[in-house]
Every structure is written in structure tokens, then in C-alpha cells.
Structure 1
């Protein structure tokens, strides 16, 4: 057995490879402490701490022919993490020698192959870049792992992903990853709404939707994104609320909440903005303007300082088109419990998560550049940050950027506790308040830098 490679792997890599099938009960009771794998990663293993019993255990998982990992051995409770790791390594070495091979599991049903060929004659530019670019290798690996566990209930997922529907399908995969991370159980008995979730015995139904470019336009993905519109304040107060409002109102007309199994439970619309290149990095303010009819006025308190003060908004007007403000205040929208939003349901998110898990071209460095919420009272400008994604201090979860806007007039309110890691916005005594993670990323860009080492043989 000497010289056999049984290696410790990062928790990020293990989670991306093998944590998608864990039950809600196991996620609630167990926390991952260390992760291991055979040299070829055919078998992976995780050591877990069961807090309620103050014991450790480990699970061995093997890859089936579909690429999914399934558990085949759960260890009896052990006293220390060291004891669990020693036993785990011994088991993996026995498997590596062939003395006791890992079982061959039947391929799990479901999952999609995003890169299946021959489905689309003229693929989308974003898809081609994802499929073919070396700089996209981490993104490609991460999104493929997530997709293995995503069930295509309507039968069109891969075709949409490779064509004009790529943004919407990436958004759905992101939501699936975030909801899995949060510990939700998925009911796959029906494709409508998109997500039929339960957690702690409570159900919530979510329909995904996106704000899209006009006329199905494809954007040039080369080079940096264009800047926001010149009349930014006017665009955020009028144009952008209309772009959010149109897809939201279209979904409301379908009355998902009238289905017998949805009725009486919270119903949520999950929206992302893809109407222009990188628009999701600057458009989110407009969503709260539209939902609550409350905007922001900048007042100059000092030659070098502006203060943001709330103001009531009127209708959102663009040319002859007029859209009433305060979506939540309209009677026909009382069946919508909340609106979920994230500006991170993008390929850049999968890129970062892939790199954190050790995937991708080792010569490509990722830097995340953006703005954090500024806690100074009345502050307008965010706190800037820039960090190497592989910096030891850098951490990121799928659900970090999720925001939930609660409908104060909802017939069936959504409990904040169902989404404990999200940022929640809500009305209280006529004031718009929020609570959430202390480190709140408002927007970010992900920069890929190809690093060439002089004098190194290729």
C-alpha cells in the first residue's frame, strides 16, 4: 500500500463534486470537517461532525457512469476527527489496491449534459465561448457538475442553454445551487413553478424569470462591458423599473398560486437582469424603487459629501409608456409573497466557484472587483474591494448575493427564516428596512488574467 495516493482535497472541491444528493436531514445535523479522494477521484470521502451527539462519522462516495457521486458506506460513530480520518484513509487505500473495490452504482436518473452536440444549428455566442474558451474551463467544469444533478422536467433545458435562452437557464442552475446549499428539498413531481421547495416542513414555490434584451439581441462578449447609461438617475427611476416590471407582470398573469398544491403556501418570483451587458451590476436599486414605490434623493450636505434620503416615487414613464409604481401595493399582486433577486446568477459566479474548487487553467488568475455595502449613515458610495479569488482569506457561497423583497400586503407572507443567509428587505411602519449578512456585496466584476511565466517551458 506504500506510495498509493490518497489525498486531502479542499472542502470547496468536495462540495462541488459530491454534496448535491445529501438529504435535508443530513445537512441539518452534520457539518463537513475534511474531505479526501483517491488519486483519480473515482472515490471521494467526507468526515462529518454530528453536533447533537458530539461524534464524527465519514461517508464514502463513488462516481457512477453519469458522473454523479453516490454514497456506499457510512461509518459508525467515532470519537475524534483524527480517528475518523485514519479509518477513512485506510478504507480508501484498500479500494486503491483493488483488495476491496468500490461498488459500481447504477447511474442516477435525471441530470443534463449541457454540452451535448447536434441540438442547435447556430449556438449562442456565450455558449460557444463557454464551450471552447480555455479561460472558461473552470466555469465549464463547475456548471457541468451542477447540471448533473438538475432535472430537466420540461425537456428543453439543454437546447435553450445552447441558444437564446442561455441566460435564463444559467439563472435556474444558479438558483438550484443556492437552494441546495441552503438545505432545501426539491419536489420534482411537476415542472411548474420552476422550484417546488420544502425546508423544515414548510413549503415555498418559486418561478424564475429574467429581464432580457430587446428583440433577442446577442451581445459581443469580447472586451469590457459598456458603462451604465448617461442619465443614470433617470434610467434607474423610469427605464429600469419598466424592464423589471414587464416580465414580473407577465408571470403574475399565469396565476401559479391557484394550483391546488401551491395554494396556501408562499409564492415567490425570482428575477435576474440580463437586459444589457453587465447590467446586473448596476440595476438592482431600480427593483426596490419599482416594488415599493420608494426612491432615493441625493442631498448635498457638504461640498464633498452627499446623503441619500428616501422619497416617494410616481409612475415610471418612458416616452408614451407609463407603468404604475409600487408593484406590491397593487391588489392583483397580493398573491406574490416576495420577489427574489441576485446579481450573481451568472457564468462569472460559476467561474469563481470552479476556481475555488481547483478547476480551470492554472495560468489564469481570477480577481473579483466590486463594492460592499457602506454602513456609514446616509452614505451613497459603496466600499470598494479587490481580491484574488485564490487568496486564503477569500470565501464565497452560492447564496451570498441573494436578496428577498417581502410583499407587505401578501396574502401568504414568506417567513424570513426559510432563507437565513439571504438579505431581506421589508416594510415596517412605513419605512423600508433590511437585514442580512454583515458583508454584503452590492456588485462585482470578475477579471480573468492570463499569467505567462518568462523562461518557463511550455
Structure 2
């Protein structure tokens, strides 16, 4: 049985104007990226027969699930597709429940991605303390993530009643951020605040303790520090990325010797030691890997802990508390942001960007 999804087939009853702009860009213009995505989804099963339609019309949620499937497959995981929920049931190396969610732009008053401009693109090359909208981006992301995680935390109460859920498996919520136009530079800061109450202040260049923020434009409090007590102990960990974009596919294409470079990708990597920002011109000799840009935030109060060893053979950065200390563990420097352009930067310009990032 051929189970490969035909992601780009023309579906009956769906007019061209109803298709998502990113889907059309991928279908019509990005042949390398399109092929990578099709490879990701080999043997992926569409259990409710809605996935392709959702991918073509709304894009992000399906796109995020395809990425997660590719990550888990690369890790050697085996799946149980015989059940219709949650999104992923991993059987091997151990049984894990994964619920995926794409954190989207506020439909009421959020700025549309169609308004993205050159200033947004160039802002990926600025450090936090030089971003005039840093707190605006931070608080909006926290608000959107909080909404997504709260909903999926509630879903566990339903799943645990299913006969195929024993209740002693780790439950992981996988959050892909598309929460605002400049989601690509949210980095770990919103999750650090939301989960641990560690609110980054770029002027002081350190985290400060905080228990809540105001929902942007309102007097409503958004609680911080969800992983500071047992209220969210059903959640074993949050799997997260804000850089799973079309640019990710382009970067992976540039990392392969299979195709010539078309766009030029520069990753800004974050080092916890000074100088904090390192530039990476992506190429086959200096590649980006599938799990670069992925983060795993472990819940110290989880009733079913996620094994740290599961992601230790990947490039994901794991964040966890051990003996009262916050630890950051990973094989590679995490991606802070990514810049994708038609032409490469001259060396002098790259040097200037690196200097600006670290000054």
C-alpha cells in the first residue's frame, strides 16, 4: 500500500484564491523545498482525511506536524497510527503522547503576515537590546503560547479517558510559533517567561523574576511560571520552535550537495558565552540540521517525566532544572534567528552585522 501523501494535488471544490499564500509559493516556486517536504511525509498517515486540505488552505498546523513527523522519524521513533488521537502516539523507543499546536496570529487585531516588509526581514539581524519592539513581540508571543498550551493541557483530560492511554506515558505539547509577523526572532524568551517565570530584560541583559504580564491592549493578567508548581503536571515537556518556516526548508536545501544554492541563508546562533552571537552562512560545508532551532522545555513537576536521553542524539536544545539550577544542554549553538535573502552578504557586511549583534 502506497501511503505517501499527495500534498500538492488539486482538490475538488477548492478554488485557487482559497489556497494559502505560503502553500502557493512552495508549490509554484520552491522546487527544492517542495521535494524536501514530500520526503518528510513519506509513510505519514492522514487519519482523518483532512490534512491535505488543511495544509493547502491554512498551512501552518499541517506544516508543523510534517516537521515533527520528520524529526521523530529521524530519531528512530515508531508510531501507532491505529488511534485517531492525540496527534502522535510514539511506541518506540518508549510510549509517548504528543499533541501538536500551531500558535497563530490573533485573528481579531493581529498584524497580517501579508504586511511583512524589508524592515521585518532586516530585524532578524538585530540583537534584543536593539529591537525597539522587543517587549511588544515578547508579550504577544507569551499571550499566544499561553492560549495554545492551556487548550492542549485541557485535551489531556479527554485523552486519558481513552482505553489506549494508560496515564503513565509522558505527555508532550509541541508548539510551533507563527504567533506574529516577526515570530522568527521570538527565540526562547517567551517560553522561558511563560514556563519558568524568567522574563528577559534586554537592557539589563538578564532574566528577571516575574509572575504575570498584562495581555497586550487589556488589563487581563497572563500568569507566568506554569512549570513552577504542580498545576500543569500533566505536561511532561514543551517541544518548541519559532524557526520552522519556508526558510527552514531553504536552509536544509542549501545544506545539501544535491542542489545548487538559490537563496542565501545566514543563521544567527546564540552562544551562552561572550560574544553571544555567531553568524553561520549555511552551505554543505556548514550545514543546518533538521533539529537545529528545536527546543525541549522539561517540566520539573511532571508526573510522567520525559527522558532527557531521547533528544540527546539530536541538535535540539534541552532546558531543564536539576538540583535547583536551570541547565541548557545541546550539541550545537541554538538558532536565535534566520535571515533568508536572494543574494549573499559581502564579507565586510557580515563583519559589520556580527559587530552590531555583539555591541
- How far residue 257 of structure 1 moved from its aligned partner, in angstroms, is 3.8
- 1:259 corresponds in structure 2 to 162
Greater gyration radius: 1
- Conserved? CA contact 2:237–2:298, under 8 Å: yes
- 2:349 corresponds in structure 1 to none
Is 1:311 the counterpart of 2:208? The answer is yes
Q: 1:191 aligns with which of 75, 84, 87?
A: 84
Structure 1 residues 234, 130: closer, same or farther in 2, change over 3 A? closer
- 1:67 corresponds in structure 2 to none
Q: TM-score, normalised by structure 2?
A: 0.82
- 2:253 corresponds in structure 1 to 354
- Conserved? CA contact 2:174–2:240, under 8 Å: yes
- 2:347 corresponds in structure 1 to none
Unaligned runs of 5+ in 1: 1-107, 300-305, 451-458
Q: 1 or 2, which has the higher helix percentage?
A: 2
Is 1:337 the counterpart of 2:236? The answer is yes
Which segment is superposed worse, 318-327 or 252-261? 252-261
Q: Map 1:232-311; keep pairs closer than 5 Å.
A: 232-233=134-135, 235-236=137-138, 238-255=139-156, 256-262=159-165, 263-297=167-201, 308-311=205-208
- 2:264 corresponds in structure 1 to 367
Structure 1 residues 371, 276: closer, same or farther in 2, change over 3 A? same
Runs of 4+ in 1 over 6 A off after TM superposition: none
- 2:35 corresponds in structure 1 to 141
Q: Map 1:50-449; keep pairs closer than 5 Å.
A: 108-119=1-12, 120-121=14-15, 122-133=18-29, 136-164=30-58, 166-200=59-93, 202-215=94-107, 219-220=113-114, 224=118, 226=120, 227=123, 230-233=132-135, 235-236=137-138, 238-255=139-156, 256-262=159-165, 263-297=167-201, 308-318=205-215, 319-357=218-256, 362=260, 365-376=262-273, 382-390=276-284, 393-420=285-312, 421=314, 422-449=316-343
Cα distance in 2 for partners of 1:130, 1:435 equals: 34
The one-character-per-residue Cα deviations of 1:84-116 (angstroms, maximum 9, x if unpaired) are: xxxxxxxxxxxxxxxxxxxxxxxx332211111
Structure 1 residues 222, 408: closer, same or farther in 2, change over 3 A? closer
The one-character-per-residue Cα deviations of 1:291-315 (angstroms, maximum 9, x if unpaired) are: 011223457xxxxxx6x33321121
- Conserved? CA contact 1:141–1:359, under 8 Å: no
**SS at 1:345's partner residue?**
coil
The one-character-per-residue Cα deviations of 1:368-389 (angstroms, maximum 9, x if unpaired) are: 213222232xx5x732314142
The one-character-per-residue Cα deviations of 1:330-380 (angstroms, maximum 9, x if unpaired) are: 5441100000012332222222323444566x4x5332213222232xx5x
**SS at 2:321's partner residue?**
strand
**SS at 1:365's partner residue?**
coil
**SS at 1:341's partner residue?**
strand
Cα distance in 2 for partners of 1:118, 1:297 equals: 48
- Conserved? CA contact 2:79–2:92, under 8 Å: no
**SS at 1:396's partner residue?**
coil
Cα distance in 1 for partners of 2:32, 2:116 equals: 18
Cα distance in 2 for partners of 1:163, 1:190 equals: 25
Which segment is superposed worse, 437-446 or 334-343? 437-446
- How far residue 157 of structure 1 moved from its aligned partner, in angstroms, is 0.7
Q: TM-score, normalised by structure 1?
A: 0.65
**SS at 1:424's partner residue?**
strand
User: Paired residues, what number?
Assistant: 324
**SS at 1:192's partner residue?**
coil
Structure 1 residues 247, 298: closer, same or farther in 2, change over 3 A? closer
- How far residue 260 of structure 1 moved from its aligned partner, in angstroms, is 3.6
Cα distance in 2 for partners of 1:221, 1:184 equals: 39
Structure 1 residues 442, 235: closer, same or farther in 2, change over 3 A? closer
- Conserved? CA contact 1:125–1:218, under 8 Å: no
